[in-house]
Amino acid sequence: MELNTLKPAAGSKSARRRVGRGIGSGLGKTAGRGHKGQKSRAGGYHKVGFEGGQMPLQRRLPKRGFKSTTLKFNAEVTLADLQALGEAQVDMLLLKQAGLVPELARKVKVINTGALTLAVQLNQIAATAGAKAAIEAAGGSVAA
């Protein structure tokens, strides 16, 4: 093998399509653009979603719903998660290190799902009314 004999594999490269170069090429005259109309002209086209003046679909459908941008900063932890964690003092940093809440989280709330038998003291973490009752019943406390 020599550098001057290297060639790409047969059929892997094809010639660039040259439009508008005469009738014999098969792409002469209208050069694959059809006849007349906006799409045949240079620089003539429409924006995405344009339907020729008809009210476009995205404007015919009703607007619906709302997604809060602050939602990503809130996180939930269940009683079962706290039980599995097995710590007496629980704060935001511990939950982030354990991977129970995302690093982005600014507010964490404990929800009443699962059972808790450990006495857990929550620091700077909120809890729902049912979760607070369950934590206190197990001998823990919530200091939000």
Domains along the sequence of the chain with CATH: 71-143 (3.100.10.10)
DSSP states of 10-39: TTS--PPP--SS-GGGTS-TTTTS-SSSGG
Instruction: Tell me what pLDDT residue 144 has.
Output: 62
Per residue in 83-128, pLDDT tens? 999 899 999 999 999 999 999 999 999 999 999 999 999 999 999 9
Q: Look up residue 97 and give its DSSP letter.
A: H
Model pTM above 0.85: no
Do the beta carbons of residue 112 and residue 80 sit within 8 Å?
Answer: no
